[in-house]
Structure 1
Amino acid sequence: MKIVGVAACTVGIAHTYIAQEKLETAGKKRGHEIQIETQGTIGVENELTQKQIDEADIVILAVDVKIAGRERFEGKRIIQVSTEIAVKSPNKLIEKAEQVVNAQK
């Protein structure tokens, strides 16, 4: 499965990057391709390409604030949670993404 997403917390420092790391680790552990863009105090990092978004089976938005470029995900299956959920329960979140994608097949 291909997963893309965005992590962005209110302060744009710790939780943004912790959420990215936890989601990418959990996704890879379950055998998925996963790329998480961060939108923090220093701007956008690991910016997703339109090709990555188009090829993704699902989008995970671990965000506590309004993000830039949300319209890029129009028409995609999206799971939106707080960064806290992504930090505390990344494995459950990846499992939820699997369930959503598998239910659509």
Structure 2
Amino acid sequence: MKIVAVTACPSGVAHTYMAATALKKAAKANGAEIKIETQGALGIENEITEKEAREADAVILAIETAIAKPERFKNKPVIQVPVSEAIKDADAIVKKAISLINK
């Protein structure tokens, strides 16, 4: 199962990267493949390509601000949560994405 995620907070500094780290760890623990794009003070890093977006089984948006290129994720199951939730409970978010995939 392939998951893609975007993390972005208004200031685009610490919380963006903390959420990415937490989601990566949770995906690994749950046997899911994940690619995480950060959109922060440094711009877009580790950008999800159109191909990766098409091949994804689910999308996690841990965001608190508008993101660039959201159209890549149309027609995909999307879970949107605040960045703080991804930091605090990434495991539950990844499990929810997996349950959407398995439906």
**What is the aligned length?**
103
- State the partner residue of 1:79: 79
- State the partner residue of 1:100: 100
- Taking the aligned partners of 1:101 and 1:38, their CA distance within structure 2 comes to 23
- Taking the aligned partners of 2:81 and 2:28, their CA distance within structure 1 comes to 19
- Taking the aligned partners of 1:33 and 1:95, their CA distance within structure 2 comes to 12
4+ aligned runs moved over 2 Å, structure 1: none
- Equivalences for residues 28-39 of structure 1 within 5 A: 28-39=28-39
Please report the TM-score for the alignment, with normalisation by the length of structure 2.
Answer: 0.97
Deviation of 1:28 after TM superposition, in Å, equals 1.2
- Taking the aligned partners of 1:17 and 1:79, their CA distance within structure 2 comes to 18
- State the partner residue of 1:50: 50
Q: Which runs of 5+ in 2 are unaligned?
A: none
SS state of the match for residue 89, structure 1? helix
- Taking the aligned partners of 1:50 and 1:64, their CA distance within structure 2 comes to 23
Question: CA offsets per residue over residues 57-84 of structure 1, 9 Å max, x none?
Answer: 0000000000010011111110000001
- State the partner residue of 1:21: 21
The residue type equivalent to 1:50 in the other structure is E
Deviation of 1:16 after TM superposition, in Å, equals 0.3
- State the partner residue of 2:61: 61
- Taking the aligned partners of 2:74 and 2:29, their CA distance within structure 1 comes to 28
- Taking the aligned partners of 2:51 and 2:32, their CA distance within structure 1 comes to 17
- Taking the aligned partners of 2:38 and 2:27, their CA distance within structure 1 comes to 16
